[in-house]
Amino acid sequence: MANRIIFTAEAPAPIGPYSQAVLAGNTLYVSGQIPLDAESGELINENITEETHAVMKNLEAVLRAAGFGFSDVVKCSIFIKSMDDFATINDAYGQYFKTNPPARETVEVSKLPKNVNVEISCIAVKH
């Protein structure tokens, strides 16, 4: 079975040589999303809460384009510029995983694309 490339105009277009997501069998690998508005291409960076919600909405759009949802997510990777934002990001992120949250790691990094404060990728599986 060939891999299927997932693309939706409801999430920001890739800013490099990568796909928004790749569906391999029943597993969806979603590239890291940043807080870009899909229509305008503008950064949503009023505050870390808004940035996190924008990232999650972009993830949701890619998941939906492949016929998945947050309930199918088994793993997330969160990259943040400052561990000082961990609790605030956690509060926003947690609103999307009210029960049975996926496995994840959160890593502080020195810089992210477009100098954003948070980027999140995920892996989802359809059973």
Q: Which structural domain range is residue 43 located in? A: 4-125
- Give the three-state DSSP class for 84: helix
List, for residues 12-41, the tens digit of each pLDDT value.
Answer: 999 889 999 999 999 999 999 999 999 999
Q: What is the DSSP string of 10-71?
A: TSPPPSSSS-SEEEETTEEEEEEE-SB-TTT--B--SSHHHHHHHHHHHHHHHHHHTT--GG
List, for residues 67-96, the tens digit of each pLDDT value.
Answer: 999 999 999 999 999 999 999 999 999 999
List, for residues 51-71, the tens digit of each pLDDT value.
Answer: 999 999 999 999 999 999 999
Domain count, the chain: 1
pLDDT on residue 54:
98
Q: Are strands 73-80 and 103-108 parallel, antiparallel or unpaired?
A: parallel
| Backbone torsions φ then ψ of 18, nearest 5 degrees | -150, 165
Query: Which CATH number fits the domain that encloses residue 17?
Result: 3.30.1330.40
